[in-house]
Amino acid sequence: MRRGLTQTKLPSSLFPLDVPSRQVLTVSELTARVRASLETSFSEVWLEGEISNLRAPGSGHLYCTLKDQTSQVRAVIFRSTALRLRFGLEDGLHVIVRGRLSVYEPRGEYQLILDHVEPRGLGALQLAFEQLKRRLEDEGLFDATRKRSLPAFPRTVGLVTSATGAAVRDMVAVLHRRCPIVRIILVPVSVQGDGSAEQIVAAIEALNQLGTVDVMIVGRGGGSLEDLWSFNEEIVVRAVAGSVVPVVSAVGHETDVTLTDFAADVRAPTPSAAAELVVPVLTQLADRLEMLIGRARQTITAQCLDQHQRLDLALAQMGHIRLRILKEAQRVDEAVAGMREATQVKLRGAMVDIQAWTQALMAHNPVFHVRRDLGIVPQLQSRLTVAMGHVLTQKMQLTRSTLWRLNGLSPLAILERGYAILETVPRHQIIRDVGQVVVGDEVVARLTNGQVRCTVNDVASNPSVSNRTGASL
């Protein structure tokens, strides 16, 4: 025995020798038994509560807490069930769920494994509709600025609908009745059920790739919200909004509303109404075109008559002016001819006088008499001839110069050099001074081959011209 320690003998009654055998469980065994008991006793539980602490990890499972005013329970929605949800879960959403009670063994916590979730007071589809609408609206997918107007005269109309429903028969009948020449391309699709959304998207893309479709109608007949749900699928709504070809949405009846209606360029209350929207009535169009042709013909005829009258008036004025110009030209020609004849008469008289003066000088010149006697007469005669030739040449040059100057003063010659004769309108008075016109007056410029009507924009006198007292040729 160690020093300092005392040995105390305990009473034998504390350790009875006849204790029965005990079953000792591990924590895992206990948890497994509790789990089996809970899953057996609570294999199907309906529960109402508010979602909180929602988590969505990369695995695709959803974890949350269901709570009421005083209690809470953990819940899990496995990925296979989460993919089937029509709407998105969010904190604060009041739901009714169905599931089985189980135990999460690693933590020893009991939880609900949910296989059905629905919003309390609002259907799952309606909630999904509102959630997707709000999200797409925030993206601007429904903005009015993105919508396009329908073509006025489409040649080809595409139909995305069921090939066996009443909607396609109604649309084809209306299209043929209103516009028999329109071309119709039908892309038959399933309009409800699994895979229908993918078929609708593929049909819209196919019509866009054709490049010949002017407008398309996407729709079907009426039905429940579940029946119309394909037209609320996000892929369909995005395909309609992204279509290059204008889209008319015609889903269900007038009271039915789908997200496709918000994304389309035009929403029609029914498929028949959509057909009426996309094509005009051909007979009405022909009647209107005939009316417009008649009005255009009347307008053109009236304008032609008016222009013809104005042309006749202009030709008459031009004829009058041309006659005046011809008369003035005739007067100028007569004046030139008279001046030429007078000049020739004067020249001939001058030559006669020169000859007389020459003879008189020769007759009275004593040198001539002396040299004539000495035999110098031929030389003097030669010199006299030369002198007379010079004089005659000078006279001829003077005459030609006079004729050129007279021709230069001719109005016709002035017009041929690019000048014009200005006359007032309508009195046809020749304008010789800037004081005869004011700004805004109309004048006529007479040229050698016609006339030009002008408007006076500015009047400015030339001081150097106005101060002249005269000019000589």
Query: 293 near 267, Cβ under 8 Å?
Result: no
Q: What is the distance between the alpha carbons of residues 243 and 231, in angstroms, rounded to a whole number?
A: 15
Q: Specify burial of residue 372 (Cβ count, 10 A radius: 0-12, 13-18, 19+).
A: middle
Closest to 168 measured CA to CA, from 196, 141, 195, 187: 187
- What kind of architecture, by CATH, is found in domain 29-121? Beta Barrel (2.40)
DSSP state letter for 65: E
Task: Give CA–CA dist 278/154, Å, rounded.
Answer: 7
How far lies 30's CA from each of 39, 100, 101, 221, 409, in Å? 14, 19, 16, 59, 138
DSSP assigned state of 214: S
Whole-structure pTM value: 0.45
Average pLDDT over residues 316-336: 80
> Considering only 188-202, 233-247, 351-365, which range has the smallest mean pLDDT?
351-365
pLDDT, residue 405, reads 77
Residue type (1 letter), 182: V
- pLDDT tens string 208-242: 999 899 999 998 888 777 788 888 888 999 999 99
* Single-letter residue type at 73: V
- 3-state secondary structure at position 112: strand
Give the pLDDT band (50/70/90) at residue 469: very low
For 165, the enclosing helix (H) or strand (E) is none
- State the DSSP code for 20: P
pLDDT recorded at residue 373: 58
Q: Which residues contact 431 (CB under 8 A, 6 or more apart)?
A: 422, 423, 424, 437, 443
Nearest to 53 by CA among 86, 75, 71: 75
Tell me the CATH number for domain 145-280.
3.40.50.10550
Bridge partners of 447?
450
* Residue 160 predicted with pLDDT over 90: yes
Beta bridge partners of 66: 51, 73
CA gap 116, 95 in Å, rounded: 10
The pLDDT value given to residue 201:
93
